Each structure stands twice: as C-alpha cells, then as structure tokens.
Amino acid sequence: MGYKLISTWKMSYHKMGEVKRMLKKKYSLQEIIETVITDVENNPDFHSVGFGGLPNREGVVELDAGYMDGDSLAFGAISAVRNIKNPILVASSLIKDRTNNYLTGKGAEKYAKENGFKTRKMLTKKAQEKYLNKVKEESHDTVCVIGKDLNGSMAVGVSTSGLFMKHPGRVGDSPIIGSGFYCDSQIGGAAATGVGEDIMRGCLSISVVNYMKQGLDAQKACERALFTYLERVNNKPDEISLIALDKDGNYGGCSTLEDFPFVVLDENNEAKLMAYKGKEKRVIETDDQWLANYKGD
C-alpha cells in the first residue's frame, strides 16, 4: 500500500499536485504535510490561513495550528499567535517533548522566536481593508492535511487564522486535539474545518476516529460523526466540514455546505479535486463546470 494524502479546500489543490513528486523521494510524511500547509500559509490571497488571514476585532491577525503524529500519538499545537510566519512549523516542532506540547499567545510567540522560527507582519493591506470595511467574508477557514506513508505511518496538520472579527484571544477547534484534528496510525486520522465552537462542542475529529475504530471506513465515519452530532443539536450548525483517512487508505469527506471541496492524492495518480455535495449527501469528482461555478477558496 502506498502514500495517500487528503486535504481541505481548493486552496490546497495546487500544492497537493506539486507534492506528488515528493512522494517518490525520501521526504518524511511530516515534511510533505508541512510543505502543503506552509504554501497555503504563505499565500496572501487566502483570507483564512496565515499571511493575509483576516484579523480579529482589534485588527490583529491571530493564528492557530496543530500537528499530530499517528504512530506515537505525540501532538503539538499553538494558538492566538501574532506575527509568526508559519504556525504549522512551530506546532509540529512541539511534538518532540513529553510536556509543553500546546503553547498559546505570548508564550508560544516566545518559544517560536527563541527557536528561530521566522516572524512576519501577517496583516496584509487587503485584509486590513476588509477589516476597515468590516466585509463579511464567507469563511473557508482551516487548511487540514492528513497523510499515510509507505510504512503505514499516519499524521495530520492544520492551520488557520480563525474567525474574522473574533474576540482577541478567541481560540477555535483547530489547535484543540480531538476537535480540530486527531490521528492514530492503527485506526486513521480526521480533521475539521468550519465554525470552531460548533466543532468543539462535538469533539468531531476524535468522534470520526472512534467510528473508524468501530470498523466504519473513512467516508462512513465522517457521515456518522457529522449527522449524529447534527441530530443531537437539532441541525443548528451550518458550517462544519470533515475529512478523514483510514488506516487502509480509504478517504472520506462530509459537510453541511452545499459544496465542500477537498483534495486526494496518491503516488500513482495526479491530485484530484473532489467535493462533498451537502444537499445530495454524496462525494463527486469535480470538473471544469464545477470549477467555473465555485467561488470559494
């Protein structure tokens, strides 16, 4: 069984296509996941991740990221950090110790600076203009990547600038283990994107992994986790999307949205842009017509 990767949103499609060539070389799964996520973080055109992310209500960009290694179950996470160029790299570096795995705010920034991670002014002119005009952008938030390598080792990484106009210090699901991400190489990995408060209430990533543990494949586990939760909360949340990859290499995606794009990649095929159609409750492979109609990131 070979490499398999799944990532959220169209914004990860380009880089997922490029990392195909890394799969045949001696890159670690961590390096591949970081490559996809840092590409999205560095792109100023994406307003929900990294550089160019939309600011909080005081006009400051605060970023969250998480990473988990599915072999050891080690994880690292940071939240509410300002002016850190690549939050995912800081989060993934935190998996190495037994404690201090999740750092927040000034403490996380101090760690990043002391350990040589690059800083950058993360507020772009465009993001500032949107803030000053209080433009309500449709939120397409978190970039999530789950991968499985040739040895069956699995990992997941996530990065986001969170909700536009959030309260300073507000932290969503993304850096919270079990909510925004979870991965166990013996079972599979899952990650979430959408309104963090709704995702945290259902601890949705661990919920997907638990359904895979019961024997459901990745697609069925995503559906069971999302629909069971929606029923419990009377179908209130309308912006939750989930992706998963099980230990056998099956992928899954599910969403409350009409169109939730995600990308799948293995070493034998080019990256494919898939979409979960919320109304029809099914996954499709996108085509040119879909792409022409889709307005999101």
Cβ atoms of 47 and 53 closer than 8 Å = yes
- Closer to ligand GLY by CB, 7 or 160: give it: 160
Q: How far is the CB of 102 from ligand GLY (least distance, A)?
A: 15
Q: d(Cα 247, Cα 279) in Å, to the nearest integer?
A: 28
| Catalytic residue check, 160 | no
Where along the sequence are the contacts to ligand GLY (CB under 6 A)?
141-142, 160, 162-163, 172-174, 193-196
Kindly tell me which of 87 and 172 has the beta carbon lying closer to ligand GLY. 172
Nearer to ligand GLY, 123 or 271 (CB): 123
Cβ distance to ligand GLY smaller for residue 216 or 257: 257
Nearer to ligand GLY, 147 or 172 (CB): 172
Cα separation, 42 vs 122, in Å, equals 10
| CB of residue 50 to ligand GLY, shortest distance in Å | 13
Which among 142, 160, 193, 256 is annotated as catalytic? 142
Supply the minimum distance, in Å, between the C-beta of residue 200 and ligand GLY: 8
Query: Closest CB to ligand GLY belongs to which residue?
Result: 172
Contact 211, 220 (CB under 8 A): yes
Minimum CB distance to ligand GLY, residue 26 (Å): 33
Catalytic residues: 142
